[in-house]
Amino acid sequence: MARIMQTIQEDIDAIVPYSMHVSSRYLDLTKKKLELTRLPKENETLTQDEQWALGTPKSVLEPLLDHWLETYDWRAQESLFNTTLPQFRTLISLPPRTSNEDRKPIRTHFVHARSSSPTAIPLLYIHSWPGSFIEIQRLMPYLIAPSSPITTTQATTQAQEQTQAFHVITPSIPGFGFSDASCEPDFGIAGVAEVFSALMQRLGYESYVICAGGWGFDVARALAVREPARVKGVFTWNPMFREPTLGEDWRAWVKWQLARVTGARYPKLSCGYTPSEVGQATEREENMKAGRPDKEKKGRPLGPAMHQLFSLRPQTLAFSMCDSPVGLLAILLDLIATQGPASALAVRPRSPFLDPGELEMQDREYEAAGHERVRSDDTVKAGSNGRAGAESQLNERRVWTPTDILNWTMMYVYPLPSSILVGLLMNTGCGSQAPKPDFAGYDEHTSKPRALRTRYALSRWVSAAFVLKAFRHR
């Protein structure tokens, strides 16, 4: 009865507690589809790299299919997320853009965890595609709980930053997870920014910072431009900026060339660029000359042919992805592998973010898959300093356990198969015919990278606090 009441919202502005519960009917249907799966034959003479070059190997997919059918327990994962993630839903009404427009409210799902710290900063975490709100589950405790008090006699600014706490808000993008999709054909990045802005206002946050990457960064950027007085900073990673050209802005071009000549190794001559940015540009040029894939193609994780299908015929692709759980799993595995080395799916030292129970579960999963147990000394132990070990592990790709991968997949299988189509439309830029917002200093085609970096870069103290809070393991 309580679960039924969750869908009833008398007050349009009400914020209603929510718990995930996928109907058993859909769980049974998924199991039947998994049992009826027919996998194509695979050329066993190919090496692993050659198999990955053709797409997701059967040798990787088949064990996960068996794990999904025989071992994976969605109800247990559902209970875990309901226990660890305080979830809510509310109706967001957007103002009409024309005098005769009637915009339907969007029921928006979100995670909201407040810190007990009186100096906590509101942090809006925006997931990308493919992704979901469950990404915040392991990071959230480190963000909302202040660090241990500093005992040094002279606390430096850096030490004070380590005590920074955050109120965490993680909404599901409309059409993803448990947020309703918009029925507007031109609903895109600007529409999502409108919804999230209204959500933060309803929660009473007059100002906040944002953490987002990938497609979520586009939403964060739109929010920052929409309300620069409220958005105090944006924390992101690996943003892509085009290089300045002489014809577009000669001043920016001269600064860029100076940074390239010096390798941005000297602060006074770097013009705001970093050595890694210059190095990436040089690597991209070398790859293009040698005919190798450049980093620009990372925006096409399945190659030009599949990217064209994603971009130009998303509805066609959505039918097969919505109806076939294994087909969806294969595409997500390909996305994981193409964003990093194939070893991301193999046995590697375990993540320091896993608690003892998760470590034990991971061991069982690896053993069930026929792998050797990962040594306990490969993991940073709780309560130990372990700084060097933690840093070396953080420099490596994330370890994907079978449960991680299936949780990720299930958030697209349930509860809204439409999220697959929404993701394809949004991620490829064909979800909206409306013009992109003017980012006041950064244009996708003219590209003035330093303008956006200067205007919307997260202030040093918030950035340092976020990184330290997110990646410290005690």
3-state secondary structure of 351: coil
DSSP character for 121? E
Q: How far apart are CA 312 and CA 331, in angstroms?
A: 17
- Closest by CA to 215, choosing from 310, 93, 112, is 310
The CA angle 37-43-48, to the nearest 5 degrees, is 95
Average pLDDT score, the chain = 72
Question: Which residues, at least 6 apart from 399, have a Cβ–Cβ distance to it below 8 Å?
Answer: 344, 348, 349, 350, 351, 362
Using the structure block, give the residue that is written with the tokens 């967001």: 92
243-263 pLDDT, tens digit each? 788 888 888 888 888 888 888
The pTM of this model reads 0.69
Q: What is the 3-state secondary structure (H, E, C) of 419-442?
A: HHHHHHHHHHCCCCCCCCCCCCCC
439-463 pLDDT, tens digit each? 333 333 333 333 334 333 333 334 4
Q: What is the 3-state secondary structure (H, E, C) of 24-70?
A: HHHHHHHHHHHHCCCCCCCCCCCCHHHHHHHCCCHHHHHHHHHHHHH
Output the pLDDT for position 185.
Answer: 76
Is pLDDT of 177 > 80?
yes
Q: How far apart are CA 191 and CA 411, in angstroms?
A: 22
Beta partners for 158? none
72-90 pLDDT, tens digit each? 999 999 999 999 999 999 9
Is pLDDT of 389 > 60?
no
Question: Would you say 51 and 59 are in contact if contact means Cβ atoms under 8 Å apart?
Answer: yes
Q: How far is CA 187 from CA 174, 195, 423, 425, 429, in A?
A: 10, 11, 12, 10, 11
Counting residues of the chain whose pLDDT is more than 90, the rounded percentage is 23
4-31 pLDDT, tens digit each? 444 445 567 889 999 999 889 989 999 9
- Closest by CA to 346, choosing from 301, 396, 388, 395, is 396
Output the pLDDT for position 53.
Answer: 80
